[in-house]
Amino acid sequence: MKIYETENIRNIAVMGHGKTGKTSLLEACLFNAGATKRLGKVDDGTGALDYTDEENRRKMSIVTSLAVSEWKDYKLNFIDTPGYPDFVGDVRGAATAADAALILISAPSGIEVETEKAWTLTEELNLPRAFFINKMDREHADFDGVVEELRVRFGAGVVPVQLPIGKEETFQGVADLISLRMKIVRHEEDELPDYIATEVEEARQKLIEAVAEFNNELLEKYLEGEEIPEADVAAALVEGIQAGKIFPVFCGSALKNAGVKKLMDGIVEYLPAPNYRAAIGTNPKDDDLIERNIGDPFSAQVFKTIVDPFVGRLSFIRVFSGSIKGDATYQNTTKEKSERLSGVFTMIGKQQIPLSTANAGDIVVAAKLAETATGDTLSDKNSPIRYEPITYPEAMLSMAVYAKKKGEEDKVFAALQKECEEDPALILKKVKETRETIINGIGEVQLEILAEKIKRKFSAEMELRQPKIAYRETIRKSVKAEGKHKKQSGGHGQYGHVWLEISPNAAGEGNTFSESIFGGSVPRQYIPAVEKGTAETLAAGILAGYPVVDVKVNLFDGSYHTVDSSEAAFKTATAIALKKGVMEANPALLEPIAEITVRAPEYYMGDVMGKLSSKRGKILGTESVGKDFSEVKAFIPVAETYKYATDLRSQTQGRGSYSLRIDHYEVVPEKIAEKIIADSKKE
């Protein structure tokens, strides 16, 4: 593959709802460009892009893949993204690396949940975008209806640049509104026939009206009724797309490879090259903002990592300025480490194509980078810059991870660490209170596939369970308790005797120990043993095996034996006193309460609040956020949030999201506490 100049490169993130045909479209692009010898099909597993076992089994994309096409002296770096909501982390990474987004829509289905999310993300990143209405050959395909739906939802800047010729079974090809030519399936491009001329002229006028809105020269010609040349319309369209005012609509059928070549032409002609705007980062030395243009010293960012047990780590890199060489050393300014490259290449699915170098704006892959992870910046060490890390959605589903086979714990957790490098939306953490390892993800399918990948790639099997809740215990009244440990077994015996005053502390103050011994009833050398016994007994739990918190313990009396007393005996006596005293001090079980913030479309808010209330939630308030969305805040027991991500997705048709943080602890209701205590005793 030859080295392309920046102006001849196009980087396009292909997004959309699952099953809209994103991968099928790119298989057609690869075939048209001669990158593959046959038109790959997702359903029969012959494609170049969905190559993992998990993808072939489920017939859907799970990880981002690169599909590089050489088309008419241009290099098209397509980034194929998953459409299933659990893999939104990959979509965000791809959008960071791209200069434009192509959002696919199914002609029979119209706007779906992930269509809206793709629009929101690209709008947030100020990314130029276009639409491709796919499946024009399917039953119930409705081009006009989908375009109208897009305009209502996303504004008047949504304008077709093509019209379909026929629909459903009679779909034959596409008519270009700018060149006024048409492309029929399996035939050469030709002049428009008379029977669609009126329809095309009306659509072309709408296109001209839309681009003239912000182009004064074109508006003047339009108002004066002048004939507007094709070149002027095209130039205004490019200007409008780059400014984020115009969103062109293409159409076709990926499976029939109809309209795909015209789409590829449109990407080259209308979507921006990487040099249309500068990259913005910060100086690692003083955090001042820096602007980088393509001719400046080298800088790049890793937007995706794939970890393979045989190939090693593959880092997908977007070059923002300068050029990257396969045998050079660069500075990782995120981690402040040097990184030596051992070659760069591009990819078509899993096929690697070696490159000696790549210019600014290109996307390359490097293998076995030792220090560099997703989101890290690489730059010339003499001209450092650091780009903003990629932000990922908050993981909403938490599961406890166990090795299926005893003795494979290290193997499972090492594999999990590698998979978390590949998908930063996964977060692995150890919970000290419950001694469990927790994996946080976006949804159940993501975690199911994670288990499958670990088994296939690392020959390790893991089991997912409901996480334990970090309950706590406390007391609600003051008591005095005696603990005496006396044992005679020949020779030296054991003797320890204490009187403890056990009282509630203010919530959040923790446990405190004091002593008010008078007259040496407990010798000074044994008081540290009493304090240590107090800490250990309270940490181990008394009521149900959970740590006892917010308790004051005062040693005020006791006795000792000159021969038989020891530190161990006084620790045992302390444990006896505490266990007896806590049970007499009106003990209570405490549960963690989280503040949850749920965001969802306004029309789902009643159902959302009802569900939260049914989970013992206390609504704190609601407010409107953005267009058509609201947020509700509530306090909710953490025990009630298990699989709430699945509930919320079902309740809001995938449009809802939430975040939570532990806020405080509250007493568990008596009936629920009885069950928890009984279950704990069984364990």
DSSP 8-state secondary structure symbol assigned to residue 287: -
Position 51 in a domain: yes
pLDDT per position as a tens digit, 141-180: 999 999 999 999 999 999 999 999 988 998 988 988 887 6
pLDDT digits (tens, 9 = 90+) for 276-324: 999 999 999 999 999 999 999 999 999 999 988 777 889 999 999 999 9
Q: Looking at the structure, tell me whether residues 657 and 613 fall in a common domain.
A: yes
- Measured distance CA(621)–CA(609) in Å, rounded: 10
pLDDT at 187 over 70: no
Q: Mean pLDDT lowest for which of 288-292, 307-311, 461-465, 523-527?
A: 307-311
Question: Strands 436-441 and 512-515, how do they pair?
Answer: unpaired
CA 225 to chain centre: 51
Same domain for 404 and 313: no
Same-domain pairing of 492 and 571: yes
Say what the pTM is. Answer: 0.89
- Indicate whether 362 and 415 sit together in one domain: no
The domain tally of the chain equals: 5
CATH number of the domain enclosing 372: 2.40.30.10
Q: How far apart are CA 99 and CA 19, in angstroms?
A: 24
Query: What is the average per-residue pLDDT within 462-476?
Result: 96
Helix (H, G, I), strand (E, B) or coil at 550: coil
Lowest mean pLDDT among 163-167, 281-285, 488-492, 507-511: 488-492
Distance CA 393, CA 651 (A): 19
Residue 178 CB neighbour total at 10 angstroms: 19
Helices (H), 541-638: 567-584, 605-614
> For residues 124 and 139, is the Cβ–Cβ distance under 8 A?
no
Question: Pick from 3, 71, 6, 4: which is nearest to 32 by CA?
Answer: 71
The answer on 523 and 653 residing in a single domain is: no
The CATH number given to whatever domain includes residue 427 is: 3.30.70.870
Distance of CA 391 to the CA centre of its chain: 8
For the four alpha carbons of 307, 308, 309 and 310, in that order, the dihedral sign comes to: negative
DSSP conformation letters of 314-383: EEEEEEEESEEETT-EEEETTTTEEEE---EEEEETTEEEEESEEETT-EEEEE--SS--TT-EEE-TTS
User: What percentage of the chain exceeds 70 in pLDDT?
Assistant: 97
- Together in a domain, 114 and 23: yes
What ranges make up the beta strands (E) of 51-188?
65-71, 74-80, 100-106, 129-134, 158-160, 162-165, 173-176, 181-184
**pLDDT confidence bin for 193, thresholds 50/70/90:** low
Given the structure tokens 């959040």, which residue do they identify?
A: 508
Q: What are the CA-CA distances from residue 675 to residues 105, 488, 542, 638, 666 (Å)?
A: 50, 40, 16, 16, 17
Q: How far is CA 616 from CA 144, 594, 676, 678, in A?
A: 47, 12, 16, 21
Helix (H) / strand (E) element for 598: namely strand 588-601
Determine, yes or no, domain membership for 505. yes
On whether both 525 and 674 belong to a single domain, the answer is no
CA atoms of 330 and 379, how far apart (whole Å): 6
What digits encode the pLDDT tens for the residues 280-292?
999 999 999 999 9
Please report whether residue 222 resides in a domain: no
Q: Which domain holds residue 454?
A: 397-462
Per-residue pLDDT at 186 exceeds 50? no
Per residue in 239-287, pLDDT tens?
999 999 999 999 999 999 999 999 999 999 999 999 999 999 999 999 9
Query: Would you say residue 413 lies in a domain?
Result: yes
Q: Look at residue 219 and tell me if it is in a domain.
A: no
Q: Which of 379, 407, 437 is the last residue before a domain boundary?
A: 379
Residue 395: the pLDDT is 86
Domain boundary among 462, 485, 511: 462
Take residue 668 and report the two structure tokens written for it. Answer: 């568990």
**Contact in structure between 37 and 27 (CB atoms under 8 Å):** no
Res 627: pLDDT? 78
Mean pLDDT of 567-578: 96
| Domain identity same for 563 and 609 | no
Q: 527 pLDDT exceeds 70?
A: yes
Are 480 and 501 a contacting pair, CB within 8 Å?
A: yes
Task: Looking at the structure, tell me whether residues 569 and 445 fall in a common domain.
Answer: no
For residue 120, is it within any domain? Answer: yes
Q: Are residues 42 and 191 in the same domain?
A: yes
Tell me, what amino acid is at 502? I
Domain shared by 39 and 159, yes or no: yes
Residue 233's closest CA among 178, 274, 271? Answer: 178
Structure confidence at residue 189 (pLDDT): 59
Phi first, then psi, for residue 654 (nearest 5°) are: 80, 5
Q: What is the full DSSP assignment across 455-487?
A: HHHH---EEEEPPPP--EEE-SS-EEEEEEEEE
Q: Based on the domain organization, do 22 and 134 belong to the same domain?
A: yes
- Residue 157 one-letter amino acid: G
Position 226 confidence tier, pLDDT thresholds 50, 70, 90: confident
Kindly state the tokens that stand for 57. 């089994």
pLDDT in tens, 637-677: 999 999 999 999 999 999 999 999 999 999 999 999 999 99
Which contiguous run of DSSP H or E holds residue 353? strand 351-355
